[in-house]
């Protein structure tokens, strides 16, 4: 069975949702990227959806950059 090279894109249900949330809550840096401090703060949120989005953002950042904090 051949692997699909863009499987992550299909796995993300709402692309851009966390970025939109970060923009609305001051979590973007000057380049438009989500701040690592904001991700860590969201992982402690009482809202389970925000916690899950933050965990996914941390995981995907680690895959993209070769290692997240």
In terms of Cβ atoms closer than 10 Å to its own Cβ (0-12, 13-18, 19+), residue 16 is exposed
| pTM of model > 0.85 | no
Say what angle helices 17-24 and 48-65 make with each other, to 10 degrees.
Answer: 110
pLDDT digits (tens, 9 = 90+) for 26-66: 999 999 999 999 999 999 999 999 999 999 999 888 887 65
* Residue 67 DSSP class: -
- Whole-number Å distance between alpha carbons of 20 and 24: 6
């Amino acid at each position: 069975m051949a692997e699909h090279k863009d499987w992550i894109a299909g796995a993300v249900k709402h692309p851009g949702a966390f970025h939109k949330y970060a923009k609305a809550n001051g979590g973007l840096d000057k380049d438009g990227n989500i701040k690592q401090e904001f991700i860590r703060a969201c992982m402690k949120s009482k809202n389970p959806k925000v916690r899950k989005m933050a965990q996914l953002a941390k995981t995907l950042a680690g895959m993209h950059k070769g290692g997240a904090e």
